A and B are shown apart, each in its own frame.
Chain A
Amino acid sequence: MVPAAPSGRLKEEIIMKRRLSLSVLFSLILAVIIFPAVTQAKDIVVGTSVALTGKYARTGQEQLQGFQMWVDEVNARGGLLGRKVKLVHYDDESKPETGAKLYEKLITDDKVDLLIGPYSSDVTMAASTVAEKYHFPMVSSGASATEIWERGYKNTFGLYTLAETYMDSILEFGKSKGLKKIALIYENTAFPRGVAAGVKDKAKKLGMQVVFEEEYGKASTDFSSMIIKIKSRKPDMVIGGSYLPDSTAFMRQAKENRLFAKIFAFAVGPGLPDFGQNLGLDAEGVMGNTQWEPTLKLPGVKEFAEKYNQKYGHEPGYHAGGGYGTGQVLEAAVKKAGSTDPDKVRAALFALDIVTTFGRFKVDATGKQIGKPAYAVQWLAGERHIVLPVEAATAKAAYPFKDWGKR
């Protein structure tokens, strides 16, 4: 410490007392946190984290609303194994490290009975490591990068069709129209990279050529220089491994810079109602992927979509559908296992082969989803329609993408 100021004995005593009271206060505060949290033993506690802030906030929220609908319904049906289901959720801020911390908390502090994964592949990458560490099975609703299932883990069960296959049907469609040159852009995180890897692979098989390829950062909102470059390569198809904000920004700037291609296709963005709301007429003709649509002919879809619309005031996107489907998968697994014991639930999840509102659920020995097909959507007359595969289509794909000048 700095040289002590001259002070009498009395003063020193006062100081000492002050310090003591501080240390008492400090230890009291410590004691309060350290005191174990009390949880009710009777309810089945389902834990999850979703992005409520940050880049994935919009999609994370949809997913959470899907979970909540399932929780409400299962409780209305009398609960699970005769017990009430309670959802504990936190906000992972769209950050993987926060996600990891939260799953640690869910497992060790909240002592949840069942785990649902977070939204986005990169948060799942981090969260799944924690689940693996505690040997706790986790049904992962919002992740699709193959990388997640290539690490030898035994506790992560995917619901989504894999990122690598996202663009397959659109590429095949392009091929059937005689298109050759592809411009490929993608965010530098797990899921978009997975989409891109799939595109490159499929393009090679179809004999198509990737004439432009570039990664961009998670916070990118300005693509104009990139678009000017893409323009000079004159691609037939522009494909984006993207989320909602970047795909919206890209299309807007594509129009400003008069980038033209026969097909524009993006991951995630066009599958959400916001894409059409934000872009208005400029969304027309843009293709995308969806894991699920409220128009699919699967058990319970119509009822779910109606109820969701009533409750939240907009039609559910696939993230909401996925959240709801995750609940159904958990429900089926717990029923099959007859308990919430992690080992039994894990075994049940591996063995499960069911069709939920979200689609078929069947995983391979790594927990990777292999039962669910991918769908392609397109914005037509201000609405999102399934256009591929033809069996599930609600409209015929419009081709080619209309020139900006002729709209």
Chain B
Amino acid sequence: MELLEPEILLQLLIGGLLAGALYALLACGLNLIFGVMRVINLAHAELMLIGAFGAYVLFHIFGLHPLASLLIVVPAIFFVGYYLQRFLIERVVGRPMLTSLLATYGLSIILINLGLLLFSADFKSIPALQGSFLIDELAVSKPRATAGLISLLLTVGVYQFLERTRLGKAIRAVSEHAQVAAICGIDVRQIRMLTFGMAAAMAGAAGVMLSVIYSFWPGSGVDFIQKCFAIIIIGGMGNFVGAFYGGILLGVVEAFVGGFISTQWAEAAAYLLLVTVLLIRPTGLKGVARA
């Protein structure tokens, strides 16, 4: 079968890894929030779309290249997240799961529909990065390679930040045990706001990356959030590194299922993976027992 030619396998693998890096950036942020606050942020994909539309507006009004707009969009969304936490999410931290799910779901509905009012339901795209890099016979998509690599860099950067800096350690401490962290003199509320801001910024960056690869509209988030669910379940809820591997895995699986079966099955892969993992290992592959 021609599909087994190494060149095709390599192309599918590269495509999958690049897409996976983007998923990972998004899902790591989601898991960071869950780890620190025990809140599943259903509006995470909408934060991503704020990033995408931000890049779109900057491109079409000021002619700013999406990669340059990262420098504006990411800090802006950090503050959006910071204040969202302060005025909304903070109120549902520590409440039953359903409460926070519904609060963030309400937020997501509001954001989607504001987006529809502002941008209509047309698909938007940014024709900034196009075409491919040719490595010998191998064509690698320029927008995907760029988006994948930047996503990877950002995720690794955030990980290093969490591992090495004082602030990062404080975040991890709150994630491990909020009360103990508070006793040790950490301002838990402040940490939560910083965490949500940081996760939002990651989502925003993912949005800018998304905007150079795909066309999008205000309702595009649904697919992504559901894929993120699959990823964080596979990687273990609240586990940053797990979400990273989960994201990469999903990207690769989707690429290969798309290549070997069909695109429709690739779209199903996330859910089939999700249900299978849950049924075999109820706490995920790298699961932590608490939740």
A73 at the interface (CB under 8 A from B): no
- Per the 8 Å Cβ criterion, residues 41-67 of A in contact with B are 52-54, 57-58
- Please, what's the 1-or-0 string for A186-197, where 1 marks a CB less than 8 Å from any CB in chain B? 001000000000
8 Å CB contact of A217 from B3, B11, B127, B264: B264
A232-B2 in contact given A54-B121, A256-B130, A258-B132 (Cβ < 8 Å): yes
The count of chain A contact residues (Cβ–Cβ below 8 Å) is 39
Q: B161 at the A/B interface (Cβ < 8 Å)?
A: no
Return A270 CB to nearest CB of chain B, in Å: 15
Tell me whether A339 is interfacial, beta carbon within 8 Å.
no
Tell me the nearest residue of chain A to B145, going by C-beta.
Answer: A256
- Contact pick for B127, options A216, A223, A233, A280, CB 8 Å: A280
Q: Which one of B103-111, B136-144, B282-290 is at the A interface?
A: B136-144
* Residues of chain B within 8 A of A217, CB atoms compared: 263-264, 267
B223 in the interface (beta carbon within 8 A): yes
Cα A404 to Cα B133 in complex, Å, equals 12
Q: Is B266 in the interface zone, CB < 8 Å from A?
A: yes
Q: Is the CB of B262 within 8 A of A248?
A: no
Instruction: Check if A278 sits within 8 Å of B125, measured CB to CB.
Output: yes
Q: Is A23 an interface residue (CB 8 A)?
A: no
B123 engages A224 (CB within 8 Å):
no
Contact B122 A57, beta carbon cutoff 8 Å = yes
Is the CB–CB distance between B223 and A219 below 8 Å?
A: yes
A257 to B11, CA, bound (A): 9
Contacts of B2 in A (CB 8 A): 232-233
Cα distance A244–B215 in the bound complex, in angstroms: 11
User: Could you tell me the distance in whole angstroms from the C-beta of A95 to the nearest C-beta in chain B?
Assistant: 12
Indicate whether A253 reaches chain B with its CB closer than 8 angstroms: yes
- Cα A39 to Cα B156 in complex, Å, equals 63
In the assembled complex, A373 has its CB within 8 A of some CB on chain B: no
Query: Assuming A58-B122, A229-B259, is B215 touching A224 (CB within 8 A)?
Result: no
Query: Which residues of chain B in 245-260 are interfacial with respect to chain A, using CB atoms and an 8 Å cutoff?
Result: 254-259
- Measured CB to CB, the closest approach of chain A to B287, in angstroms, equals 29
B207 to chain A, nearest CB (A): 14
Q: Using Cβ atoms and an 8 Å threshold, which residues of chain A touch B262? A: 214-216, 226
| B121 contacts A57, C-beta separation under 8 Å | yes
Chain A hits for B256, CB < 8 A: 225
Of A54, A223, A232, most B-chain CB atoms within 10 Å: A232
Taking the closest CB of chain B, its distance from the CB of A401, in whole angstroms, is 16
Q: A245 near B: Cβ within 8 Å?
A: yes
CB distance from A407 to the nearest CB of B (A): 9
Considering the complex, give the chain B residue whose CB is closest to the CB of A226.
B263
A222 at the interface (CB under 8 A from B): yes
Q: Given that A217-B264, A258-B132 are known contacts, is A224 also in contact with B122, CB under 8 Å in the complex?
A: no
B64-97, CB < 8 A from A: none
Give the interface centre of B121, B127, B219 by most chain A CB atoms within 10 Å. B121
Question: Are B131 and A404 within 8 A (Cβ)?
Answer: yes
Give 30 pairs: A residue, B residue, CB < 8 Å, sorted on A: A54-B121, A57-B121, A58-B122, A58-B123, A188-B264, A214-B263, A215-B264, A217-B263, A219-B223, A222-B258, A222-B263, A224-B15, A224-B144, A224-B255, A225-B12, A225-B254, A225-B256, A226-B262, A228-B12, A228-B15, A229-B3, A229-B259, A232-B8, A248-B123, A256-B132, A256-B141, A257-B11, A257-B139, A257-B141, A405-B134
Contact partner, A52, options B121, B257, B258, Cβ 8 Å? B121
In contact, B132 and A244 (Cβ under 8 angstroms): no
C-alpha gap A217/B264 in the complex (Å)? 6
B143 & A256 in contact (Cβ 8 Å cutoff):
yes
Q: Chain B's nearest CB lies how many Å from the CB of A118?
A: 15
Interface residues of A in 245-303 (CB under 8 A from B): 245, 248-249, 252-253, 255-258, 274, 278-280, 282
Complex CA–CA separation, A282 to B121 (angstroms): 24
Q: How far is the CA of A252 from the CA of B215 in the complex (A)?
A: 10
Nearest to B263 among chain A residues (CB) is A216
CB-contact partner of B15 in A57, A225, A278, A279, under 8 A: A225
A339-375 interface (Cβ within 8 A of B): none
With A220-B267, A226-B258, A228-B259 known as contacts, the answer to whether A255 contacts B132 (CB < 8 A) is yes
Does any Cβ of B come within 8 Å of A209's Cβ?
A: no
Q: Would you call A255 and B131 a contact (CB within 8 A)?
A: yes
- Contacts A52-B121, A188-B264 supplied; 15 other A-B pairs, CB < 8 Å: A53-B121, A54-B121, A57-B121, A214-B262, A221-B215, A222-B19, A224-B15, A224-B144, A224-B258, A229-B3, A245-B123, A245-B215, A257-B11, A274-B122, A278-B127
Residue of B nearest to A228 (CB): B11
Q: Does B190 contact A (CB under 8 A)?
A: no
Let me know if A57 and B120 touch, CB within 8 A.
Answer: yes
How far, in Å, is A233 (CB) from chain B's closest CB?
A: 8
Closest chain B residue to A214 by CB distance? Answer: B262
Cα of A64 to Cα of B10 in the assembled complex, Å: 47
Of residues 1 through 44 on chain B, the ones whose CB sits less than 8 Å from some CB of chain A are 2-3, 5, 8, 11-12, 15, 19
Chain B residue contacts of A221, Cβ below 8 A:
214-216, 220
Known A221-B215, A244-B123, A256-B139; contact A282-B263, beta-carbon cutoff 8 A = no
Q: Are B263 and A248 in contact (CB under 8 A)?
A: no
* Closest A residue to B1 using CB positions: A232
Q: Does B182 contact A (CB under 8 A)?
A: no
Decide if A223 touches B141 in the complex (CB within 8 Å): no
Residue of B whose beta carbon sits closest to that of A248: B215
A residues in contact with B123, CB < 8 Å = 58, 244-245, 248
**Bound CA–CA A372/B101 (angstroms):** 53
Whether the pair A279, B127 counts as a contact (CB closer than 8 A) is yes
Chain A residue at smallest Cβ distance from B218: A53
State A53–B116 Cα separation when bound (angstroms).
8
Residue of A nearest to B214 (CB): A221
